[in-house]
Every structure is written in C-alpha cells, then in structure tokens.
C-alpha cells in the first residue's frame, strides 16, 4: 500500500538532520509540501536541497515563541495551509542523576522538550487547524517509559509530552489528531554518545531485533500517522525500539 500526502503541507521542527530530516524527506516523497525549521540557516539550506520537491526552510529557535509564530505564518504564507505539524526538535543539556540537576539545564530541557511542542501546536491550531483540521505528531522517547541513571531529566520531559499528547488529543478532536512516537536508540548525531563504537553493539544485542534504529524507521511511522491511514488514531503513543522494552535484561 502506497501512503500519500498529496495536497498536504507539513512543518517539521528540527528538520535539518536526523529523525526530522528523515520525516521531512518521507513526507516530500509522499507528495507533501514541506517546511523545515531549526536554528542554523546553512544546515537548513543543505537539508532542503536534499529533500527536494520545493522544500522550504525557516530559521527558528524552537523554544522562542516569536520565532515559532513566524515559522507557522511563513509556512501558511508560502504553501497556503498547515496540515501536519511534527514536534521533533529536542534538547538534552544534562546527563546525570535527576536529584543533582541545576535549574538552568532543567528549565532548558523543559522549554525545548515540553513547552515548545505546546506553543507550536497552539500556533498551528490558531492559525490553521482549528478551522481546517490536521495532524500533530510529537516525537517523544522510549526514555519516557522507564527510569535512567543518566537521562532521567530528559525522560521526565518526554513522559510529560506523552501526557500532553493525550490531553491535546482529547481537546482538539475530532478535527485534529494528536499522536506521539517513542523511538528507542536511533543512530543520529543527537544520540551519538549512546551508540558509537562498542556501546552501540552492546545495546543492539539487548534488542530482540538485534539492531539499533535508523531515522527512516521513525519516518515510516510518522508518515502513517500523518496520512489517511491514521485517520482513526489519536491520543496514542507508538513505541519503535526494536523490542528493547520487552527484551530480556542482561545477566
């Protein structure tokens, strides 16, 4: 079955690399008009050229509400609609016990991983989706579903994002569907410290599917949820982790 997004416009935050780039590329290949947003113009320009299909780009610090408003407005002005919003951008400035986190890095993680998806969704709703419908996809993490020695703060924000996904799905239906994807360890630059070298091989061996994820593994699910194939799905979380949560713990 070929999944298509012809006639749809998608805005992807953090769309210049990794999971965001893969999602934006999949959407463009499926016929969507795509706008990508992130902080660096040079990276956006390269990514847009790679994505093709007239992909647009806009510089926006995800955690800046004014930049978010400008990005949403630019998307609608250029393409005439905003049918799919992917809240993909994330930050992880702190690693260590949650009890020791300083408030500066705590606030930064909350701002990018939780407040920003709310703000971008509010803007998409107010500027377009409230009257025309649409789909919102939040990129959470498998870390939202378990504790972690080093990434607890990140996991807390991603767990809150799952609850916000459910809350907004309840509020914005029937016209707007809101769902979340929870990736396991994906081979991106963002997560490089977790998978590079022998460490990645060890993690993969704990997954029933015996490999780490690739950005395209997430893109396929994001396409399914954005298209008519996901028309009766809202308020859900889709775990894509190679079976990591159900794998047998290491001896």
> Which DSSP string do the residues of 211-238 spell out, in sequence order?
S-B-HHHHHHHHHHHHSGGGTT--S-EE
Could you read off the pLDDT of 47-66 as tens digits, one per residue?
A: 999 999 999 999 999 999 99
Report yes or no on 142 lying in a domain: yes
Active site residues: 154
Report yes or no on 113 lying in a domain: yes
Residue 182 backbone dihedrals phi, psi, to 5 degrees: -115, 90
Torsion from C-alpha of 49, 14, 139, 190, nearest 10 degrees: 100
Report yes or no on 250 lying in a domain: no
Total number of domains constituting the chain: 1
Report yes or no on 3 lying in a domain: no
Dihedral-angle region of residue 52 (phi above 0 means left; psi in -120 to 50 means alpha; beta otherwise): left
Report yes or no on 2 lying in a domain: no
Helices (H), the chain: 18-29, 41-51, 65-79, 103-110, 116-124, 130-132, 152-172, 192-195, 198-205, 215-226
The pLDDT of residue 200 is: 76
The pLDDT of residue 191 is: 72
The pLDDT of residue 11 is: 98
The pLDDT of residue 203 is: 81
- CATH number of the domain at 128, please: 3.40.50.720
The pLDDT of residue 195 is: 63
- pTM for this model (two decimals): 0.95
The pLDDT of residue 251 is: 46
C-alpha 80/C-alpha 140 separation (Å) is 28
Residues of the chain with pLDDT under 50: 251
The pLDDT of residue 68 is: 98
Domain region containing 16: 9-237
Report yes or no on 41 lying in a domain: yes
Report yes or no on 90 lying in a domain: yes
Report yes or no on 186 lying in a domain: yes
C-alpha 95/C-alpha 101 separation (Å) is 8
């Amino acid at each position: 079955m070929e999944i298509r997004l012809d006639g749809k416009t998608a805005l992807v935050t953090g769309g210049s690399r990794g999971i965001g780039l893969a999602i934006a590329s999949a959407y463009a290949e499926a016929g969507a008009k795509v706008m990508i947003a992130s902080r660096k113009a040079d990276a956006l320009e390269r990514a847009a050229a790679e994505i093709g299909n007239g992909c647009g780009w806009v510089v926006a610090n995800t955690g800046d509400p004014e930049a978010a408003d400008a990005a949403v407005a630019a998307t609608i002005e250029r393409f005439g609609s905003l049918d799919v919003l992917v809240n993909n951008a994330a930050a992880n400035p702190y690693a260590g016990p949650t009890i020791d986190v300083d408030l500066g890095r705590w606030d930064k993680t909350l701002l990018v991983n939780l407040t920003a998806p709310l703000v971008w969704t509010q803007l998409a709703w107010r500027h377009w989706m409230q009257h025309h419908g649409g789909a919102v996809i939040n990129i959470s993490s498998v870390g939202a579903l378990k504790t972690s020695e080093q990434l607890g703060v990140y996991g807390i924000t991603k767990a809150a994002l799952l609850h916000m996904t459910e809350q907004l799905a309840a509020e914005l239906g029937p016209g707007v569907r809101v769902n979340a994807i929870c990736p396991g360890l994906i081979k991106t630059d963002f997560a490089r410290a977790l998978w590079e070298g022998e460490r990645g091989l060890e993690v993969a061996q704990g997954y029933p599917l015996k490999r780490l994820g690739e950005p395209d593994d997430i893109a396929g699910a994001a396409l399914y949820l954005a298209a008519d194939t996901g028309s009766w799905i809202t308020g859900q979380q889709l775990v894509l982790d190679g079976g990591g949560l159900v794998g047998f713990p290491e001896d």
